[in-house]
Amino acid sequence: MGPHIRSKRLTLNDRSRQLRHLLTSKYFHLNNKLLIYKMLLKPIWVYGIQL
């Protein structure tokens, strides 16, 4: 695995750990969880992938 991909994977892991309490909360509606994912986690992969 290249250094760029490893760096992005570590960034994504850190971000998901920070948001875990929100994403696993039973008090958050699924639509809100999807919105958090789409706004904060998905861009790390979409814009961070080296072509």
pLDDT averages per 10-residue partition of the chain, 51 residues = 85 93 94 94 77 40
For residue 51, what pLDDT is reported?
A: 40
Rounded CA separation 32/8 (Å): 24
For residue 13, what pLDDT is reported?
A: 93
**Domain residue spans of the chain:** 3-50
For residue 49, what pLDDT is reported?
A: 58
